[in-house]
Amino acid sequence: MAFVFSRLDDLATWAQTHSLSFLFLDLSCCGIEMMHTTGGRYDLERFGAVQVASPKQADLMIVAGSISYKYAETLKKNYEQMCDPKWVMAIGSCAGSGGMFEGEFSYSTVSGVDKILPVDVYVPGCPPRPEAIMHGLLTLQKGIVKCRAQNSWKDSKTSSPEL
Amino acid sequence: MSSTEFLEGLKNEFPGAITKIDIGYGQKFAEFSSNAAASIFNVCSTNERGRFDLLEDLLAYDSGDDIVLVYNLYSTLLNHRVILKTSLHRKEPSILTATTVWLAALSYEKEIAELFGVRFKNHTTEIPFLLPKDWQGFPMRKDYVYPGGYSGIAHGSGVERRKR
Amino acid sequence: MESFEINVGPTPATTSGPLHLRVQTDGHRVVQAKIEAGYLHRGMEKVAERMTWLSCQPYMGRIDYVSAIHCEHAYALAVEKLCGFEIPERSKAIRVVVSELSRIASHLLSIAWLARTTNASTAVMFALRDREKICDLFEILCGARLTYNYVRIGGVSNDFTEGFVDKTIEFIDYIVPKLQEYHQLLTNNVFFIGRLAGVGVVSASQAIAAGLSGPNLRASGVKLDKRKQEDYEIYRKIDFSTPLGATSADSFRGAVQGDAFNRYFVRIQEIEQSAVIIRQVLANVPEGKYALTLPRVFKVPAGEIYVSVESPRGTQGIFIRSTGEKYPDRLRLRTPSFPVLNILPAVLESSTLEDMGPLVASFDYLPSEVDR
């Protein structure tokens, strides 16, 4: 019986990691690289990641670009509208740590998305290559598998993977 | 060199208002006093030697003592350019709006009002433009102090940077 | 029917960047439109006051990241003019080639966005496919796909690398016939024309009054191109034409000058003209150095200057004020999408809800340029 349930659990994990619908916030230069990643050459959809328009339909939020203080409230609202389990991927240096606008350089930029939201994967680069973004997605998928395996006996939410 | 002729004509017409004419790097600058703004804008756009119908840029800079506004005017019909400058007093900078003459001034003036604190008389827009609604201070002035944070988010990541 | 307020954005929907539109609608007609910008305000102009003249260069590419060369170009030209530098002929030719390649890349992306908002998804994929080829070319040249930091003060950062010229000519030979696919999918497509023709008309006088420039202005019939007016680089020696908006007499039923369809049509014709320019320049690139040698920390003499170049969206201008120090006193970016804010509410208010997306995309509105 336990064998059947663990196989079913593996099936559910496989289904979850290979069908991540992402809410794509293309705020800045990294957003253009993300567009290229979803384009024909570096096709992100073959990993099951599909772009959706609304946060209510998304599992993953991909933040690509610099966050300004004015946008921070909207970002938080988008995150809160997503249903559990949800993950956040920060692409680029601006989303990761503020990048070239960090701290004293710019008066109106938040120094990294992690000041507002819990981030699961950081993809460094300015902007990162599409291959790097794909690597970020695959890392997240592996992390979800690991996290589900560890937490499978709990029924709390399966977010924040241990990577 | 019709824009030079235009500037000379302008100086003759408004002797008190035009204070300086400069030609450097091939660009023609003229300084005017902000009280005569209404008449100078009208003349720039209607005068047959000027016919400046395109306001290409309106910017401001903080020269330490004053806030200086720079109007970059271009004529599509006569293919020449002139740059007009005016100094506004730092304590309460205000000048008449140029939107009645050039609609393009609308967005430029909104930005300058927000970032430098210049008041444009008869300019009618309320939406805060580039900064959040409750932002304190005028960021582009030289004496602006960087904020410690905004609405609970701390500014910076705690790394010490070399001072300018 | 009662009027209903709808929020479009700030999460990016029709543009590659956050834009907040608050529209009051009556049924599906837009009654009032308010635009709120500033969601990507990074304070570029204040950043520049902290940086040395050479350190400002990477920031220039992040303002207009879709065609990063042009802002870098304008900055380099402004500083060179203020310092009185005369750059070698070879670097002028190199700058023209990369500018035009960047222009093609930007127009392809704007066509992709317009096609995305009108649901012509095949054209989106095709435009991204062709834009990838240009990213490859830039990668061979300077190592970066998107934000190049290639045009520097005094010239360019490195000479043509091995294989760049041949691959560029190969790309030009590929893209010009490939434009027939776009004409088949979009330009001669009765649905696309029906969607955009006669929508969002901006007359020539309205466009000039609002401060528009570039393809937006040329679609309204005003023949103004900085490459022909201002004397910069070697554009005066090159033979190319500036396309204007077509009228319905030219087989596009319902299209009038200044509408959304013409703003698209001018861009796709400009891709051909850029190909013409690149071919002419690469046919005889002068020999010589690719850049001047500058001191590591150099000071610009005191003065003020305004320089503008023709970016794919319009006039990209830079105003520099120097007080003789090693930091700029004031760096002002006059971006081409900024004046679009003056005219966008009026254009949206005479349209319908389903036309809002294509209208904003037809102006090639880039929020990062507006907010800087």
Three-class SS of chain B? CHHHHHHHHHHHHCCCCEEEEEEECCEEEEEECHHHHHHHHHHHHHCCCCCCCEEEEEEEEECCCEEEEEEEEEECCCCEEEEEEEEEECCCCEEECCCCCCCCHHHHHHHHHHHHCCEEECCCCCCCCCCCCCCCCCCCCCCCCCCCEECCEECCCCCCCCCC
Across chain C, what does the average pLDDT equal?
89
Asked, for residue A63, whether it belongs to a domain, the answer is yes
Asked, for residue B104, whether it belongs to a domain, the answer is yes
Total domain count, chain A: 1
Asked, for residue B164, whether it belongs to a domain, the answer is no
Contacting chains of C (3 CB pairs or more, <8 Å) are A, B
Asked, for residue C24, whether it belongs to a domain, the answer is no
ipTM for the complex? 0.88
Pair C332, B61: CB distance under 8 Å: yes
Asked, for residue A155, whether it belongs to a domain, the answer is no
Substitution target in B131, B153, B159, B160 with the highest count of A β-carbons within 10 Å is B153
Total domain count, chain B: 1
Asked, for residue A61, whether it belongs to a domain, the answer is yes
Asked, for residue B90, whether it belongs to a domain, the answer is yes
Q: Which of A79-88, B80-89, C242-251 has the lowest mean pLDDT?
A: C242-251
Asked, for residue B162, whether it belongs to a domain, the answer is no
Mean pLDDT, residues C182-211 taken together: 88
Asked, for residue A109, whether it belongs to a domain, the answer is yes
Query: Helix, strand, coil proportions of chain C in percent (round to 5)?
Result: 50, 15, 35
From residue C108, give the alpha-carbon distance in Å to each of B130, C69, C194, C364.
Answer: 29, 15, 21, 11
Domain that holds residue B79: 2-146
Substitution target in A66, A67, A68, A70 with the highest count of B β-carbons within 10 Å is A70
Domain that holds residue A64: 17-150
pLDDT in tens, C211-222: 898 999 999 988
Asked, for residue A127, whether it belongs to a domain, the answer is yes
Which pLDDT score, from 0 to 100, does residue B126 have? 65
Strands (DSSP E) found in chain C: 3-8, 20-26, 29-36, 151-152, 155-156, 303-311, 314-322, 330-334
Q: Give residues with Cβ within 8 angstroms of B114, minimum separation 6.
A: B128, B129, B130, B131, B138
Cα gap C197→A120, rounded to integer Å: 46
Asked, for residue B153, whether it belongs to a domain, the answer is no
Total domain count, chain C: 1
Identify residues of A whose CB sits under 8 angstroms from chain C CBs.
23, 25-29, 31-33, 35-36, 39-41, 53, 65-66, 68, 70-71, 74, 78, 100-101, 104-109, 126-127, 129
Instruction: Write the CATH number for A33.
Output: 3.40.50.12280
Mean pLDDT, residues B130-140 taken together: 85
Instruction: Write the CATH number for C197.
Output: 1.10.645.10
How sure is the predictor about C171, in pLDDT bands with cuts at 50, 70 and 90? very high
Domain that holds residue C178: 43-371
Nearest to C343 by CA among C237, C209, C191, C157: C209
Asked, for residue A86, whether it belongs to a domain, the answer is yes
Asked, for residue C32, whether it belongs to a domain, the answer is no
Mean pLDDT, residues A33-49 taken together: 90
How sure is the predictor about C102, in pLDDT bands with cuts at 50, 70 and 90? very high
Asked, for residue A90, whether it belongs to a domain, the answer is yes
Using the Cβ of B145 and the Cβ atoms of chain A, whether some distance falls under 8 Å is answered with no
pLDDT in tens, C55-84: 889 999 899 899 999 999 999 999 998 888
Asked, for residue C31, whether it belongs to a domain, the answer is no
Residue A80's SS3 state is helix
Asked, for residue C26, whether it belongs to a domain, the answer is no
- C208:B53 CB<8 A: yes
**pLDDT surpasses 80 at B159:** no
- A27:C12 CB<8 A: yes
**pLDDT surpasses 70 at C289:** yes
Using the Cβ of B67 and the Cβ atoms of chain C, whether some distance falls under 8 Å is answered with no
Across chain A, what does the average pLDDT equal?
85
Cα gap B2→B24, rounded to integer Å: 16
Q: Among positive and negative, which fits the CA dihedral C341, C109, A98, B60?
A: negative
- A28:C17 CB<8 A: yes
pLDDT in tens, C147-156: 899 999 989 9
Which pLDDT score, from 0 to 100, does residue A134 have? 93
